[in-house]
Amino acid sequence: MNTVFPAEWALQDAVLLTWPHKDTDWADILPQVELTYLAIAKEILSQQALVIVAHNDALKQHISTLFHSNDLPLDKVHFVVCPTNDTWARDHGPISTYRGDTLHALDFTFNGWGNKFQSELDNAINQQLFNTVLANGASSQKVPLALEGGGIESDGNGTLLTTSECLLNDNRENNLSKAQLEAKLTELLGVNHFLWLDHGYLAGDDTDSHIDTLVRFAPNDALVYVSCPDQNDEHFQALDAMAKQLQTFTTKSGEPYTLHALPWPNAKYDNDGERLPATYANYLIINNKVLVPTYQDANDQAALDVIAAAYPQHQVVGIDCLPLIHQFGSLHCITMQLPNGFLRS
């Protein structure tokens, strides 16, 4: 049976959020972070349903109260109550494929980006998610392979974009060669054209260079990527090499990609002087909209304009994500799209 790993701009049922709580690293800035979550939730609910993982019943009630007080509807919100370590739904959430016309949800292993952080609770979320909201006609599979959603990009047509630094990292403990991993991903995701990015990183990034912080697919054989014009910036050399490698990438038919270069935000730091991974590439595509992280930065509007050019069929909406990067992730990192056919009616 033909397996397809859909592009993010394919029709969606919902988006998954795992809500932050006082027992996570967000505790010190929880009110500011919740405002960002509410802003994201508002845009998602304008287009589709929302699935929220809540650490316990008390947090579920708290979220419901927040929604009421901010005039957000709850009729399209589906709660999954289970304990959580953290909030990075992109990486612990399910990776959805289609087998023929049937949605098939894959539960890969999440090991905290190479055992850097506790992840046992987050690694168990998907099974509770499937039990609670997965459509009766859909299927699911637990896969004993470490893989995070932020580490891979699909064009929906059999091409997978990823970084060597992440997928081939020994800390994922997959013990597979590059060829073996490609064969496994072909089997599981139906992909047969691999683009391995060998350059590019972000200071403050814990993920070993997730692709969704660097380069994204767009419709019509296009790539949107971060660029750094400042030769004095620590990122310049790696991102310049990345841009040159992108120029060599071709589609399955051998054609070069249309490239859209994103601007580079001014450096952002936490209170300890550590640089934060601000990136405009970490946007979320939902039905009819692209939600783009902004950082109260002079380059925000230019980034929105580039993304609007790459996704002409979508409305582009900026969301202030400055609080999110204080835990070294951004908008795409805290969300996971659930494609058409995923959600139980």
Which DSSP state fits 27? G
Q: How confident is the model at residue 312 (pLDDT cuts 50, 70, 90)?
A: very high
> Under 8 Å CB-to-CB from 11, ≥6 apart: which residues?
287, 339, 340
Tokens of 24: 């996570």
Which DSSP state fits 296? S
Question: Do residues 153 and 216 make contact, with C-beta atoms less than 8 angstroms apart?
Answer: yes
Interatomic CA distance for residues 193 and 162, integer angstroms: 11
Pick the CATH number of 3-339 from 3.75.10.10, 3.40.225.10, 3.20.20.210, 3.30.428.10: 3.75.10.10
Half-sphere exposure of 344 (CA within 13 A, CB side): 13
Cα dist from 173 to 88, 177, 199, 211, whole Å: 20, 11, 22, 19
pLDDT tens-digit series, residues 273-309 = 999 999 999 999 999 999 999 999 999 999 999 999 9
Question: Do residues 83 and 120 make contact, with C-beta atoms less than 8 angstroms apart?
Answer: no
Tokens of 249: 């990438």
In terms of C-beta density within 10 A (0-12 exposed, 13-18 middle, 19 or more buried), how is residue 69 classed?
exposed
71: left (phi over 0), alpha (psi -120 to 50) or beta: left
Mean pLDDT (whole number) for 113-135: 96
pLDDT tens-digit series, residues 72-84 = 999 999 999 999 9
pLDDT tens-digit series, residues 181-211 = 999 999 999 999 999 999 998 999 999 999 9
Q: pLDDT value at position 3?
A: 97
Question: Do residues 336 and 90 make contact, with C-beta atoms less than 8 angstroms apart?
Answer: yes
Within its chain, how far is the Cα of 282 from the centroid?
7
Q: For the chain, what's the residue count?
A: 345
pLDDT tens-digit series, residues 149-182 = 999 999 999 999 999 999 999 999 899 999 999 9
User: Partners of 152 in the beta sheet?
Assistant: 162
Mean pLDDT (whole number) for 31-48: 98
| End-to-end Cα distance, the chain | 25
Q: pLDDT value at position 1?
A: 73
Residue 272: CB atoms within 10 Å = 5
Express as a percent the part of the chain with pLDDT over 70.
100
Helix (H) or strand (E) holding 308: helix 300-310
Tokens of 192: 């047969």
Q: How confident is the model at residue 345 (pLDDT cuts 50, 70, 90)?
A: confident
Helix (H) or strand (E) holding 7: none
pTM greater than 0.85 (yes/no): yes
pLDDT tens-digit series, residues 240-267 = 999 999 999 999 999 999 999 999 999 9
